[in-house]
């Protein structure tokens, strides 16, 4: 076991496609532990499997980490270490710890030389920081392959060499790699190298309680970025998948997570990640943004078609922002609402379909009476008193006097927005002003 006093962790993704929250949870935990202990965090792109590598995947990894605010101290590409891998393969063969085995090719096309590790067939104990000691009889592993050819080390060998050369002292990774660890410990011992500390994280599960995967809809980090999630919300949410600080607190800043994170409080069982929970975290983190930052995000996602309305103004944008914040979980939903026409009525008079004006089948003649009464009430509110609270108080007095509020409130809402679902009519009235409110009601009444 490594005696190096400095904590050096690593994240070692393969550039084989867009990784999801399950993969980046390993990066977060390794990064948080390094930062918590004042250590180093290494990023290693494991790009030696050229058949599976996808163009641009390494760039996606770098962009995702940068967006999340996970900064690394050193960056390595595994493909740059091929000569070093070959050197170690030859060393293992020379000392009798590995040998060349000529055997039928897996594709059935003749014979092929592979490099096998000479297994000492002994029990190996993995001192796992999360699961405790796990002892494995390695006899069942046989003489396992460590290189497909002298130039092609497999995962077990390449990881050992790279972790040693990069000074990694703590290997923090998903529990699916626990089965690989005994093989890697055997290789470390055969080379006379110190074995790092291991911590195997619980599985990240989706809402279906199965392992989170792209096949079942898991999204990439950059997709969350493009959908308008805040990186601090994603970091906060994913950090709590399988770890807790031992308190009831759920909302953490990046600095708080670094200060509190420790592997002692990582659970052994699988932990669930859901977009529903992420949405809650995102709403909470939006509330903690400065007004200036919220405005910046809204402007980023507000389509030009809204900004091009004749009545659009900075003043109206300022009034619209708190209304939007009440309705969205992500800033990307600003775009969604706008494209669905659900913001248009704040800036232009809607077209009213009188067939949808009445509440639950009430006759139009009765609806007209209620709407006229509301109009009279609103006319009695002065310009100086035209606020959301005053409008609501006066209209609700009438609505509450009826057997049901709907016959009065629904036609008012529909007259102002042209939609059955929208912010409440008091919010809309306060936003568009007294003159426009009364004009829209008059237009509706004239069509009944």
Residues serving a catalytic function are 214
| 123-128 own/partner pairs: CB under 8 Å, 24+ apart | 124/182, 124/185, 124/186, 126/178, 126/181, 126/182, 126/185, 126/198, 127/1, 127/197, 127/198, 128/178, 128/198, 128/199, 128/200
- Side-chain-side CA neighbours of 328 within 13 Å: the count stands at 29
Question: What string of H, E and C letters represents the secondary structure of 414-437?
Answer: HHHHCCCCCCCHHHHHHHHCHHHH
Instruction: Give the three-state DSSP class for 266.
Output: strand
Helix intervals (H) in 130-274: 155-165, 181-190, 221-226, 231-239, 254-260
- Cα–Cα distance measured from residue 184 to residue 160, given in angstroms and rounded to the nearest whole number: 6
What Rg value do the Cα atoms of the chain yield, rounded? 31
Phi/psi of residue 186, nearest 5 degrees: -60, -40
DSSP state letter for 81? G
């Amino acid at each position: 076991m490594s005696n190096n006093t400095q904590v050096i962790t690593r994240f070692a993704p393969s550039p084989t496609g867009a990784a999801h929250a399950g993969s980046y949870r390993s990066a977060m935990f390794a990064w948080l532990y390094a930062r918590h202990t004042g250590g180093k965090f290494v990023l290693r792109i494991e790009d030696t499997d050229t058949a599976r590598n996808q163009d641009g995947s390494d760039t996606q990894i770098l962009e995702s980490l940068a967006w999340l605010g996970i900064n690394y101290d050193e960056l390595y590409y595994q493909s740059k270490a091929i000569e070093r891998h070959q050197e170690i393969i030859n060393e293992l063969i020379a000392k009798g710890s590995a040998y060349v085995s000529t055997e039928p090719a897996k594709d059935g096309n003749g014979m092929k030389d592979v490099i096998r590790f000479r297994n000492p067939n002994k029990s190996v104990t993995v001192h796992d920081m999360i699961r405790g000691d796990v002892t494995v009889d390695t006899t069942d592993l046989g003489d396992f392959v460590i290189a497909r050819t002298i130039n092609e080390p497999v995962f077990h060998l390449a990881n050992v060499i790279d972790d040693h050369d990069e000074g990694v002292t703590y290997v923090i990774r998903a529990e699916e790699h626990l089965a690989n660890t005994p093989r890697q410990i055997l290789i470390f011992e055969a080379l006379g190298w110190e074995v790092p500390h291991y911590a195997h994280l619980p599985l990240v599960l989706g809402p279906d309680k199965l392992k989170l995967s792209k096949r079942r809809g898991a999204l990439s980090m950059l997709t969350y970025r493009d959908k308008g999630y805040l990186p601090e919300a994603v970091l906060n949410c994913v950090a709590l998948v399988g770890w807790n600080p031992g308190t009831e607190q759920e909302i953490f800043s990046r600095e708080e997570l670094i200060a509190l994170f420790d592997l002692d409080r990582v659970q052994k069982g699988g932990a669930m990640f859901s977009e529903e929970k992420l949405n809650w975290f995102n709403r909470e983190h939006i509330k903690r943004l400065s007004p200036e930052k919220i405005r910046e995000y809204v402007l980023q996602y507000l389509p030009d078609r809204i900004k091009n309305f004749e009545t659009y103004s900075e003043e109206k944008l300022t009034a619209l922002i708190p209304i939007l914040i009440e309705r969205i979980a992500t800033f990307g939903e600003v775009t969604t609402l706008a494209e669905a026409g659900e913001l248009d009525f704040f800036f232009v008079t809607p077209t009213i379909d009188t067939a949808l004006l009445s509440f639950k089948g009430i006759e139009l003649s009765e609806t007209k009476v209620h709407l006229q009464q509301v109009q009279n009430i609103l006319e009695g509110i002065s310009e100086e008193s035209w606020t959301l609270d005053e409008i609501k108080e006066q209209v609700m007095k009438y609505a509450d006097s009826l057997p049901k509020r709907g016959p009065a409130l629904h036609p008012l809402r529909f007259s102002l927005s042209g939609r059955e679902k929208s912010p409440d009519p008091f919010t809309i009235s306060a936003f568009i002003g007294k003159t426009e409110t009364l004009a829209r009601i008059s237009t509706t009444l004239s069509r009944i």
